[in-house]
Amino acid sequence: MKEIGINHVDELFSDIDEEIRLKGSMNLPGPLSELEVKRETERILKKNRTIKDLDSFLGAGVWPHYVPAVVDYVASRGEFLTSYTPYQSEISQGLLQALFEYQSMICELLDMDVANCSMYDWASSLGEAARMTARVTQRDKFLVPHYISQDRLMVLKSYAEPAGIKILEFSQNIKDGQIDLEDLKKKISKDVAGVYIENPSYLGFLIESPEAIAEITHEAGGLFVVGVDPISLGILRPPGDYGADIVIGEGQPLGNYMNGGGSLLGIFACRDEVRLIRQMPGRIIGITTTLDGKDKAFCMVLQTREQHIRRHKATSNICTNEALCALRAAVYMALLGPKGFQELGEIILSKTYYSIMRLSEIEGVRVPFFKAYHFKEFTVNLDGTSKSVQEVNRELLERGIIGGRQLSHEFPELKQTSLYCVTEMHTTRDIDRLHDSLKEILEG
């Protein structure tokens, strides 16, 4: 204080109007010692029941997957954890390279050329994708399928509406979930910036003719946007293979925990086309060399798209993203490699079908509701039983099981239907127990 010529620290706040200054102190708990904080926080968190306490069959956008120990180990390194966005390339090569590797490995999974180093989550990626299609095509309509998560749709609308983008829905066949191509053809026009599908869909079924949708979209001059669960891509066709221009999705399954729904990892990728790349939102890392040409090096690129340079003309306002989640995904993808993704995909597929088979044995239960191929998630309909989803879920919870997500609020026409999810985390015994419990509840 002597150095700067003051006697009391209050002098540094003398420019704040006395009248509006805070008088007295804030009403907050603490301070507590580390031990007390730990005790108190643990006491509160214990009120949560985890998927270790209960057998949970919830998915619907966030899914239980195993996180290898190496992922936690690497992500807890302070050098990554406590660094900022890598503005100073020379001293941040480690993170820059790791994020470049994330982008590169995600591209391989999706069969795309370019990925950014993350958005907040799948939902915000969808919002940004709609806006990007409008910027690229200078059109103002964005078409979405009937069966998508209503939460995700709400986020999409928040992003789209202020940009003057109209969200229109095309129908899906209620028997097999497949896209109604005739309806799509009716709705597509020269005003449509983009057409969006999810594969696997929100309700777990696979879309069997994605090329046809790509073709209809491209013929009308629109962009084809596909949303994916990346864990499916060890065995399912990647969107780049059937004509996607932009691919988005939820990267949480790649080495990230469910965290009660956040932090998550928004995937955002596109093809190597200048008109697309220039309109990409978010941070992108590129590979280059040092100025003297001696070493390879990495840095953030195309920053003229971004808010800190372009201000109100930026492609998006995003800056802080989900870099650490992307790092986790990078470690995860490196550990699994091509064979790991393939084996994991087969395991999940087999568990999906085992579950479908077992639950179908129960009188009056229709599994899946949609006659289509499924991956990881499937619909269970109880219309043929005497109980509602709500009743069944309550009784399941009494038995230590969290049943599937009730869908009647989102899709009333599906009546007593819920969405179940199985992954490598569910053992055959867990599935058998679900079967036994459901049977007991429904058949008495």
| Distances 67 to 100, 208, 328, 332, 427 between C-alpha atoms, Å | 21, 31, 9, 8, 16
Q: Which residue from 112, 269, 145, 137 is spatially nearest to 213, judged by alpha carbons? A: 145
| Distances 150 to 84, 163, 173, 211 between C-alpha atoms, Å | 34, 20, 18, 25
Q: Enumerate the H helices of 76-204 as residue ranges.
A: 78-81, 93-110, 122-137, 150-160, 181-187
Element (H, E) at 395: helix 389-398
Binding-site member from 148, 188, 225, 331 for another protein (CB under 8 A): 331
Binding-site member from 129, 248, 285, 380 for another protein (CB under 8 A): 285
Kindly identify the residues of this chain, within the stretch 340-379, that bind another protein according to CB under 8 A.
340-344, 346-347, 349-354, 357, 373
CB atoms inside a 10 Å sphere around CB 417? 25
CB closer to another protein, 138 vs 320: 320
Rounded-to-integer distance, Cα 391 and Cα 381, Å:
13
Helix axis angle for 150-160 and 122-137, nearest 10°, is: 40
Candidate ranges 173-181, 219-227, 319-327, 359-367; the one touching another protein (CB under 8 A): 319-327
Binding-site member from 7, 55, 65, 98 for another protein (CB under 8 A): 98
Q: Which residue from 230, 286, 249 is spatially nearest to 113, judged by alpha carbons? A: 286
- How near is the Cβ of 179 to another protein at its closest, in Å? 14
Kindly identify the residues of this chain, within the stretch 1-60, that bind another protein according to CB under 8 A.
1, 3-4, 6, 9, 11-17, 20-22, 25-32, 34, 37-38, 40-42, 44-52, 54, 56, 58, 60
Site string for another protein, 193-222 (x = CB under 8 A): -------------x-x--------------
- How near is the Cβ of 249 to another protein at its closest, in Å? 12
Under rule CB under 8 A, residue 383 binds another protein: no
CB closer to another protein, 220 vs 227: 227
CB closer to another protein, 261 vs 364: 261
Binding-site member from 171, 178, 189, 307 for another protein (CB under 8 A): 307
Put residue 81 in one of left, alpha, beta given phi > 0 → left and psi -120 to 50 → alpha: alpha
- How near is the Cβ of 47 to another protein at its closest, in Å? 4
| Distances 369 to 354, 360, 405, 418, 438 between C-alpha atoms, Å | 16, 11, 14, 9, 17
Binding-site member from 139, 187, 283, 366 for another protein (CB under 8 A): 283
Binding-site member from 360, 361, 371, 427 for another protein (CB under 8 A): 427
Site string for another protein, 394-413 (x = CB under 8 A): ---x----x--x--------
DSSP 237: P
Under rule CB under 8 A, residue 309 binds another protein: yes
For residue 398, what are the contacts with CB-CB under 8 A and spacing of at least 6?
none
- How near is the Cβ of 214 to another protein at its closest, in Å? 14
| Distances 338 to 105, 108, 326, 341, 343 between C-alpha atoms, Å | 10, 10, 18, 5, 9
Measured distance between the N- and C-terminal CA atoms of the chain, rounded to whole angstroms: 78
- How near is the Cβ of 386 to another protein at its closest, in Å? 22
DSSP 409: T
- How near is the Cβ of 285 to another protein at its closest, in Å? 8
Kindly identify the residues of this chain, within the stretch 229-268, that bind another protein according to CB under 8 A.
233-238, 241, 250, 257-264
- The amino acid sitting at 203 is L
Binding-site member from 7, 55, 61, 395 for another protein (CB under 8 A): 61
For residue 86, what are the contacts with CB-CB under 8 A and spacing of at least 6?
92, 95, 96, 99, 299, 300
Rounded-to-integer distance, Cα 170 and Cα 213, Å:
11
Binding-site member from 7, 295, 412, 444 for another protein (CB under 8 A): 295
Rounded-to-integer distance, Cα 405 and Cα 202, Å:
12
Binding-site member from 68, 135, 191, 395 for another protein (CB under 8 A): 68
Under rule CB under 8 A, residue 101 binds another protein: yes
Kindly identify the residues of this chain, within the stretch 124-183, that bind another protein according to CB under 8 A.
124, 131, 149, 151-152, 154-155, 157-159, 162-164
Candidate ranges 134-142, 166-174, 187-195, 322-330; the one touching another protein (CB under 8 A): 322-330
For strands 377-381 and 417-421, give the pairing.
Answer: antiparallel
Quickly tell me which residue has 């999706």 as its tokens. 110
Binding-site member from 183, 221, 335, 408 for another protein (CB under 8 A): 335
Binding-site member from 135, 140, 334, 395 for another protein (CB under 8 A): 334
Candidate ranges 169-177, 182-190, 221-229, 424-432; the one touching another protein (CB under 8 A): 424-432
Q: Which residues pair with 144 in a beta bridge?
A: 169
